[in-house]
Amino acid sequence: MKKQGILNSHIAEVLANLGHTDTIVIADCGLPVPDGVKKIDISLKIGMPGFIETLDVILEDMEVEQVTIAEEIQENNPKVLTFIEKKFSKGQIQAVTHEEFKKKTGQAKAVIRTGEATPYANIILHAGVIF
């Protein structure tokens, strides 16, 4: 049995297979997942697990060079935005409209669906390299 790191075998597999610039999405429970994109649903009930705790765990195991968020988060979810801004530099954060964000999820290797139920608590993580 795995001793540390991400125990969810589906998430661990996706992270192990990422290459430079590949993307994954961490999503609230309402974000639509495009056909053909792998959905890893870890939601248990409204709010569990949350976006923040899920992002924290993923970042322990993934090298991220850039992130994409929806512009609408600025007015509608300042708590999550503040958390994202603490984790990433301004140069790493790209904001697009929510409609554009949803289109970009179509290129993701996977969408990890959380139980988060606050608006625009979604992020696209762009894989970096460790060297």
Domain assignment present for 26: yes
Domain assignment present for 109: yes
Whether the pTM exceeds 0.85: the reply is yes
Q: Which residues are annotated as a binding site?
A: 28, 98, 120-122
> 127 with 19: CB under 8 angstroms?
yes
CA distance 97 to 130: 30
Domain assignment present for 3: no
Domain assignment present for 1: no
What is the per-residue pLDDT for 1?
80
CA distance 98 to 71: 7
What's the whole-number mean pLDDT along residues 92-120? 98
CA distance 88 to 109: 21
> 102 with 125: CB under 8 angstroms?
no
pLDDT at residue 4 greater than cutoff 90: no
Counted domains in the chain: 1
Cα dihedral across residues 126, 55, 90, 119: positive or negative: positive
What is the per-residue pLDDT for 130?
93
Residue 20 catalytic? yes
Domain assignment present for 67: yes
Provide the 3-class DSSP secondary structure of residue 39.
strand
Q: What is the mean pLDDT of the chain?
A: 97
DSSP string for 79-122:
HHHHHHHHHS-GGGEEEE-HHHHHHHGGG-SEEEE----STT--
Helices 51-61 and 9-17 pack at an angle, to 10 degrees, of: 50
CA distance 90 to 69: 12
Domain assignment present for 81: yes
Q: Which residues are annotated as a binding site for substrate?
A: 28, 98, 120-122
Name the residue range of residue 121's domain.
9-127
Query: For residue 92, what is the domain's CATH number?
Result: 3.40.1650.10
Q: Which residue among the candidates 5, 9, 13, 20 is catalytic per the annotation?
A: 20
Domain assignment present for 120: yes
